[in-house]
């Protein structure tokens, strides 16, 4: 679940739905120059996928956030992409004394549209992917990669990179993919956001086709101590679109002096 490299402040990288920790490889070298990087594979990804571990009962969301904390050092910055950002926010609520910072990348407090939350995806999209993972999980992940790259100036290159990663990495099984989609369908962390006092860095693509940039603006307004950085001409994966800029932001954030009030 957790492999570490580099030296410096502890920084955990938490992937999103469908793609394991391998997705961070393009920025890993840059980040590990000045930080101790912890690569997290969520349940059903990475080695557990390679070993064929089945998840008949998919783990509870809050229990997964707690297990994430249990696998990490006492003081760590959590960097979560998309679904990983939801887990990072939940972990910061569970144990704020353990989390020295939050980096939320292409994330949102609620992936699904609600009556008072139009800045999100329709249930039909989640239904579409849920149906797909039951019968053609690999092809569904390939379609997902194409969708998340839409709107990005480097969409073709990012799509090729991610498709190559999918071919090389162990594939999460249908139950893992289905469980993650259920999290995305059910989770709405908006009521909990005012309780997060952890300093936060929000990084988002202006053209994000999955989590609109307005969701990032909302997050920045709701979190008590947040910095927002929008990447122009960028889709759902700003760390792949501009890895140098992404690494500089994280480096500065992780090494910023801690102020006391």
Respond yes or no: is residue 107 known to be catalytic: no
CATH fourth-level superfamily of 2-255 = Alpha/Beta hydrolase fold, catalytic domain (3.40.50.1820)
**251 is annotated as an active-site residue:** no
Show me where the domains of the chain are located. Answer: 2-255
Residue-wise pLDDT tens digits, 199-209: 999 999 999 99
Residue 261 has a pLDDT of: 42
Place of tokens 């297990």: 67
State the alpha helices, DSSP H only, in 98-203.
123-135, 137-148, 155-168, 174-186
- At residue 23, does pLDDT exceed 60? yes
Q: Which pLDDT belongs to residue 46?
A: 85
Q: Among the options 41, 152, 208, 251, which is catalytic? A: 208
Helices 137-148 and 174-186, axial angle in degrees (round to 10): 40
Query: Mean pLDDT across the stretch 179-197?
Result: 97
Residue 177 three-state SS = helix
Active-site option among 21, 32, 48, 82: 82
Predicted structure pTM score:
0.94
Nearest to 197 by CA among 86, 108, 92: 92
């Amino acid at each position: 679940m957790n492999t570490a490299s580099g030296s410096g402040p502890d920084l955990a990288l938490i992937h999103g739905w469908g793609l394991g920790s391998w997705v961070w490889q393009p920025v890993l070298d840059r980040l590990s120059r000045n930080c101790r990087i912890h690569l997290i594979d969520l349940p059903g990804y990475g080695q557990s996928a390679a070993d064929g571990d089945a998840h008949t009962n998919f783990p509870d969301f809050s229990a997964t956030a707690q297990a994430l904390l249990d696998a990490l050092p006492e003081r760590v910055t959590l960097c979560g992409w998309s679904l990983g950002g939801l887990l990072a926010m939940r972990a910061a609520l569970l144990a704020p004394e353990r989390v020295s910072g939050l980096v939320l990348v292409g994330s949102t407090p609620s992936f699904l549209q609600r009556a008072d939350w139009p800045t999100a995806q329709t249930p039909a999209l989640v239904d579409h992917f849920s149906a797909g993972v039951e019968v053609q999980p690999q092809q569904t992940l390939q379609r997902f990669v194409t969708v998340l790259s839409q709107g990005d100036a480097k969409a073709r290159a990012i799509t090729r990179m991610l498709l190559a990663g999918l071919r090389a990495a162990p594939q999460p099984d249908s139950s893992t993919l289905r469980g993650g989609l259920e999290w995305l369908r059910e989770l709405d962390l908006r009521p909990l956001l005012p309780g997060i006092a952890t300093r936060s860095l929000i990084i988002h693509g202006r053209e994000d086709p999955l989590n609109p940039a307005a969701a990032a603006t909302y997050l920045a307004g709701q979190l008590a101590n947040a910095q927002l950085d929008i990447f122009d001409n960028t889709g759902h994966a700003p760390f792949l679109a501009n890895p140098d800029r992404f690494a500089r932001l994280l480096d500065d954030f992780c090494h910023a002096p801690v102020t006391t009030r």
